[in-house]
Amino acid sequence: MLSLYLGPEDLLINLDVTFKDDLGEGGVLMAIDRIEGEVMDEYPQATRVFAEAESLNQVYRQRRDRKELFAAYEEEKLFGERFSERRAARRQRNEELRARRAKRLEEIANAYNRARRLEAEANFDAVYVESEAGLRLRKKLFSEIPGIEGERIVLNRVVDTDADALRDMIENPLVQRYEPAFLFEKQRDDVGETIRLMYGELFENKESLILAIRVKKTGELAGLAEFYGLRDSLHKVSIGYRLRECWWGKGLATEAARLMVGYLYGETDIEIITASTMIENTASAHVLEKADFVRTARYVEEDWGLPKPAIVDKWFC
C-alpha cells in the first residue's frame, strides 16, 4: 500500500490488489467497492482511495495468458493425435504396398514364365521343367542383350539401320523436353558411332542397357527402352523409355514398360524396379500407372543435367 499526502487535507491511498482467479468482471468491481468502503471506515482521514488499473489489467492478462496456454496445449495435443494417426496410416500403407508388391512380383513372374513356356513349346516342341520348389534359375541383368517379344513390339538390340529413326527422335524437341540432358544417345553428333558404342563400355560396366522398341510387323524403330542405375546388392534397377513422336498415343510405351517389368521379374534376379517422371509429364505417369507402378514420392528434386534440378515423381513396381 502506498499513501501520499497531496495537501494539508488530502490523503491518497494507492492499492495494488490481487483478485481471485475465478472472479468475473462484476465480482472485481464489487470487490473494489467493498475495499474502498472498508478503507474509508478504517481511515476516515483518507479522502481518496485508488485501486490501481495495473491490478485490473494484470487479472485480465493472467486470464488471457491462461487461455492462450490452454489453447496452445489443446492444439499441440490435437497435432500429436493427428501425427500419430498419420504415422499409423503410413505404416499400414507401407505394409500393404509390401504385400501388394510381393503378390504382384509373383503374378508377373508366373505369367511371364507361362508365356515363355508356351512360346518354347510352340516353336521348339520343348518341355518346360520346374523344380520341386517351383523356382527356376534366374539370370543376372547385363548377362545378355535380350530379345523380348510382345504382342505388337519387340525389345532388342539397336542396329546400324536404326540410325535415321534414332536421329529423328534425338532431334525432336518435343520428345526431349521431359528427358535428362545426359541420355547416352544425346552425347554425340554421330548417331552411327552412338549405336556402335551402346554395347561397349556402357553395357560392359553395367551402366545402362539400351534396347530398341521395334514395331513387330515392320521392324521400324519406334523408340528406346533403357535399364539403368543397377544396384546389384539390392537387386534393384530403374527403367526408362522414350518414343518417336509419330508413335505417341498408340499404347507402345505401356506395352514396352510391361515387357521390361515382365523380363526383369520373370528372368532376372531383380526384385525392385523404380522409375522417375517429370511432374509435367502426365503421359508418362499414365504409362507407369497402367504398367502397375505405384507413385511413392512427389515433387522430388533430381539432377537431370539441366540448368535447374528437375522436379520429379518417384515410382515403384
Number of domains observed in the structure of the chain: 3
Distance CA 96, CA 88 (A): 12
Same domain, 33 and 47: yes
Domain boundary among 136, 159, 187: 136
Report yes or no: 293 and 256 within 8 Å, Cβ to Cβ.
Answer: no
Per-residue pLDDT tens digits of the chain, which is 317 residues long: 444 445 555 566 666 667 676 767 667 777 777 777 777 777 776 666 665 544 455 555 666 666 676 676 667 667 667 767 777 777 777 777 677 767 766 776 676 666 666 655 554 433 333 433 344 557 899 999 999 999 999 999 999 999 999 999 999 999 999 999 999 999 999 999 999 999 999 999 999 999 999 999 999 999 999 999 999 998 999 999 999 999 999 999 999 999 999 999 989 989 899 999 999 999 999 999 999 999 999 999 999 999 999 999 999 98
CATH of the domain at 230: 3.40.630.30
Query: What strands lie across the sheet with 310-316, from one edge to the other?
Result: 148-149, 153-156, 208-215, 221-231, 236-243, 272-278, 310-316, 294-302
Same domain, 283 and 143: yes
Q: Within 10 A of 7 (CB to CB), how many other CB atoms are there?
A: 8
Q: Which range marks the domain in which residue 166 is found?
A: 138-316
Same domain, 284 and 183: yes
The H or E element spanning position 63 is helix 53-124
